[in-house]
A and B are shown apart, each in its own frame.
Chain A
Amino acid sequence: MTELSFRPVETAQDVEKTSRPSLSYWQDAWLRLVANKRAMTSLFVIIFLILFAYLGPLVWRADHTEQHLDKTSQAPWVNRNAILIAEEAEWEDVVVADPTGTHQAPMSVEVIGEARTTSVGLKWDAVPNAAGYRIYRHILEPKAGFPLGLPIGETEDRTHVSFQDRMDIQQKTYWYSVAAVDEDGKDFEEFTSVEVRPRLYITVGEALRLGYITDASKVEPGDTVLLDWHPLGTDYLGRDMLARLMKGAQVSLSIGIVAPLLFIIIGILIGSVAGFFGGAVDSALMRFTDFVIALPFLLFMILFMVWFGIEAGGSGIPAMVVALVLLSWPGVARLVRGEVLQIREHGYVEASRLLGGSNSWLIGRHMIPNTMGVVLVSFTFAVPATIFTEAFLSFIGMGVVPPTPSWGAMCNDGIRTMEKTPHELLFPALFISITVLAFNLLGDGLRDALDARLRSRE
């Protein structure tokens, strides 16, 4: 054992010291929030979404209302290098000799030349006893017993065995089916199909019209031009998805933020008055609050939307905000009242009153600041709930009025084309989900950061 020294030492008699600097409530909460990775990520996502909605349109200047019927439901990853061709050559019908044999459908169907988005030429061998042919186009592989797709043309003679399709051809896989028809115009049971994937072409005239080239003499057929870029594709009317999503973000976020702000202010007013004065004022206000809470929320949202009616050209946004405010304040009012009832009993309020604080001073200086924590948390949770409500109403057609885009309305549009072009539903749904998620996680973080119980426990 080492040498022990039994010399007395001075022990500090004042060992008590504060171990960390004093922080205000909000500073402390803010530090906690910053330490919460999920909440901070969410905060950045929310800031990004707000920038996306309000600064995005300054960067991405595409018009969200402009329709392009020549490129509807275009996927974002589609090829944009179009090959220029001169005007489509005159179509020459293929005529063959009268066929022999017993086959019921063409032995084969072939594409004449190259399949282009400007035109697809087909030819097949003739079928005996046919009065003519009917040509179908489908985006799925045809099966016997199912519709063959869109009938795009007919020929009137069994020796005329070719057809040119120039109808809105896009860069995707098509199945062309040819079935022989009898004298009454009825299809034979058998048919023959060919799978075609047209390449992207554009005629010089069209390119001039759309402004891709300015001078026809400077280009030659075979050159490529880069078509308009739609980073997130287009919708069923050929409108640019990115621009619509930005505009939709403005609509969804402004409803989602403004409506909660307004109903929270009303809720604070009613709740603090009820809690502070108590007695008859309190019970009258709270009875009314109970009634409004009992109203079936979405039914009355719909009812109010009908009530306000939408004048022509209106967007339906103000109507929705007012309806939301009318129906949503009671939750906050109840919350604030409960808090105020507790705060009222605290010593510092009594002290302030004894020092001559007036009612409005007490409410404004003590009650409201001390309820701000719970109010802020309920605000962060109210935003996603409101965005959901907006999306829901727009989805069932009771929300914002077309052509005003909102994420919910865009989802509603996207559902029609979901199987073929899922991006039209996917993107707005993704934006709704991310926004709702971010606000929820931020709310969780705020609640943890502001929770006084947690604060004293550590």
Chain B
Amino acid sequence: MTANSLLQVSNLHVEFTTYGGIVHAVRGADFHVERGETLAIVGESGCGKSVAVQSVLGLIPIPPGRITQGEAILDGHQILGHQTIEGKDIRGNRVGMIFQDPMTSLNPTMTIGNQIAEPLKLHRKMSGAQAKKRAIELLEMTKIPEAAKRASQYPFEFSGGMLQRAMIAMAIACEPDLLIADEPTTALDVTIQAQILELIKDLQQEVGMGLILITHDLGVVAGVADRVVVMYAGEILESGTADEIFFAPSHPYTLGLLSAMPTNRRDVVQTLMPIPGSPPDLFSPPEGCGYAARCPQAMEACVANRPTQFTVSDSHFSKCWLHHEACEHRVLEVQQV
């Protein structure tokens, strides 16, 4: 954590008011991303990872959503509740975003070219012709063949993979400092997934932007992320470099996730271990650790007290009582599972 991170989010709490009561979707999330760095936020669906990031940018509907606590500093400026910093738009300009389902995330009655040109006209004050020209260049950058012709087509004329490329072109149109990719490959075929990830990675290096990759797929994370944040039931349980998370996980949940993930290594005879049970009810979150009910190493403290953050190394943190100095148990190692 450095003083001038690109984005620093601290102690973020987000709630949703629904007919069933108040959902505590995010319960104190801290994370940061540096310039040029890739941060992966992983977790099961419904764990609050998308909500955490979208609420920072003001993309959750308010009401029913509400940010009750926390702050988010982009490039030294508080951005919670702000649309602009120093008179310039944040969304679409400083921060670009890619969503999960490209089929529904593009306006069906507007040409692809116009949709890419929209942020250029808004934030770069380009004329229609300039924006159009730039949109075609962007489509070329995202390796869409016949970009000029494609620019005047509508979303329904594109395949899923092509649409996601167009989405990427749109998100990076204004050369943002930060790109947020919210499950960018989940809705795509496996063969296309790799291409899209590679494209995002290449563009990141080219433009030099920070990248937040939100995913539930650890396989996606392994090849791309510099650092990983593991989220569960609205809180961050563990964070560290990709190597630390994959080779020295220090939270039983991360361990569980890794054991549930198939590998392509032939030398390891592996049994997939599902995590039993389901995540806790976020209408009334448990008092102690959110994972305690499913955790094979759960202790009485875990049920009664919410774990504090323990430092495993300079870059590696875990919220688990197993790291408490008074505790004689330790997190199991990968091989022991």
Instruction: Give A contacts to B, CB under 8 Å.
Output: 1-2, 4-9, 11-16
Q: Are A8 and B278 in contact (CB under 8 A)?
A: no
26 residue pairs A–B, Cβ–Cβ below 8 Å: A2-B304, A2-B305, A4-B305, A4-B321, A4-B324, A4-B326, A4-B327, A6-B300, A6-B321, A6-B326, A6-B327, A6-B329, A7-B299, A9-B298, A11-B293, A11-B295, A11-B296, A12-B277, A13-B276, A14-B276, A14-B277, A15-B277, A15-B278, A15-B294, A16-B276, A16-B277
| A9 CB contacts on chain B under 8 angstroms | 298-300, 302-303
A15, B293: Cβ atoms closer than 8 Å: yes
Using known A-B contacts A5-B300, A6-B300, A6-B327, determine if residue A16 contacts B295 with beta carbons closer than 8 Å. Answer: no
Query: Once the chains are docked, how many angstroms separate the CA of A7 from the CA of B298?
Result: 9
Tell me the B293-337 residues at the A interface (CB within 8 Å).
293-305, 321, 324, 326-329
Q: Does the CB pair A6–B278 fall under 8 Å?
A: no
Residue of B nearest to A5 (CB): B300
| Chain A min CB distance to B256 (Å) | 12
Q: Which residues of the other chain, A, contact B303 by a CB distance below 8 angstroms?
A: 9
Instruction: Determine how close the nearest CB of chain A comes to the CB of B267; give it in whole angstroms.
Output: 30
CA distance A12 to B280 in the complex (A): 13
In the assembled complex, the Cα of A16 lies from the Cα of B293 at a distance in Å of: 11
Cross-chain contact B294 with A7 (CB below 8 angstroms): no
Return the contact of B297 from the options A4, A8, A14 (Cβ within 8 A).
A8
In whole Å, how far is A456's beta carbon from the nearest beta carbon of chain B?
15
Q: Smallest Cβ distance from B309 to chain A, in angstroms? A: 14
How many of chain B's residues touch chain A, expressed as a range?
Answer: 20 to 34
Q: Indicate whether A6 sits within 8 Å of B293 (C-beta atoms), given known contacts A12-B277, A14-B276, A15-B277.
A: no
Additional A-B contacts beyond A2-B304, A4-B324, A12-B293 (8; CB < 8 A)? A4-B301, A5-B299, A6-B299, A6-B329, A13-B276, A15-B276, A15-B294, A16-B278
Residues from chain A with a CB closer than 8 A to the CB of B180 are none
For residue B300, which residues in chain A have a CB less than 8 angstroms away from its CB?
A: 5-7, 9
CB distance from A411 to the nearest CB of B (A): 42
Most buried by B among A8, A11, A14, A16: A11
Whether B292 sits at the interface, judged by CB under 8 Å, is yes
> CA separation between A4 and B288, bound complex, in Å?
12
Q: Which chain B positions have C-beta within 8 A of A2? A: 304-305
Chain B residues positioned under 8 Å from A8 (CB to CB): 297-299, 329
Minimum CB–CB distance for B93 against chain A, Å = 35
Of chain B, the residue at the smallest CB distance from A13 is B276
Whether the pair B278, A11 counts as a contact (CB closer than 8 A) is no
Which A residues lie within 8 Å of B327 (CB)? 4, 6
Known: A11-B292, A11-B295. A5 touches B276 (CB 8 A): no
Query: In whole angstroms, what is the CA distance A84 to B9 when docked?
Result: 92
Contacts of A4 in B (CB 8 A): 301, 305, 321, 324, 326-327
A-B interface, 9 closest residue pairs, ranked by CB to CB distance from nearest: A15-B277, A5-B300, A4-B301, A6-B327, A6-B299, A13-B276, A11-B298, A7-B300, A9-B298
Q: Which residue of chain B has its CB nearest to the CB of A3?
A: B301
User: In B4-37, which residues have CB < 8 Å from any A CB?
Assistant: none
What is the distance, in angstroms, from A458's C-beta to the closest C-beta of chain B? 9
Give Cα A206 to B294, complex, Å: 92
With A and B bound together, what is the CA distance between A251 and B278 in angstroms?
Answer: 58
Tell me which residues across on chain A come within 8 A of B296, comparing CB atoms. 11
Q: A11-B294, A11-B295, A11-B296 are in contact. Are A6 and B277 (CB under 8 A)?
A: no
Of B293, B297, B301, B328, the contact of A5 (CB 8 Å cutoff): B301
A9 to B292, CA, bound (A): 9
Q: Which residue of chain A is the closest to B20 with respect to CB atoms?
A: A458
Residues of A within 8 A of B276 (CB): 13-16
Residue on A nearest B291 in the bound complex, by CB: A11
| Complex CA–CA separation, A11 to B291 (angstroms) | 10
Q: How far is the CA of A7 from the CA of B301 in the complex (A)?
A: 8
Cα of A1 to Cα of B294 in the assembled complex, Å: 25
> Closest Cβ of chain A: how far from B273's Cβ, in Å?
12
With a cutoff of 8 Å between Cβ atoms, the chain A residues found around residue B294 in the complex are: 11, 15
Partner of B328, one of A1, A6, A11: A6
Q: Which residue of A lies closest to B18 (CB)?
A: A458
Residues of A within 8 A of B299 (CB): 5-9
Per-residue CB contact flags for chain B residues 28-69 toward chain A (1 = under 8 Å, else 0) read 000000000000000000000000000000000000000000
- In the assembled complex, the CB of B251 is this many whole angstroms from the nearest CB of chain A, namely 15
Count chain B CB atoms within 10 A of each CB in A6, A8, A13, A15 and give the residue with the most. Answer: A6
- Nearest-neighbour CB distance to chain A for B214, whole angstroms, equals 22
Q: Which residues on the B side are within 8 Å of A1 (C-beta)?
A: 305
Query: Residues of A contacting B329 with CB < 8 Å?
Result: 6, 8
Chain A residues, Cβ within 8 Å of B278: 15-16
- With a cutoff of 8 Å between Cβ atoms, the chain A residues found around residue B324 in the complex are 4, 6
Minimal beta-carbon separation of B67 from chain A (angstroms): 25
Chain A residue nearest in CB terms to B292: A11
A residues less than 8 Å from B328 (CB atoms): 6
For A15, give the chain B residue with the smallest CB separation: B277
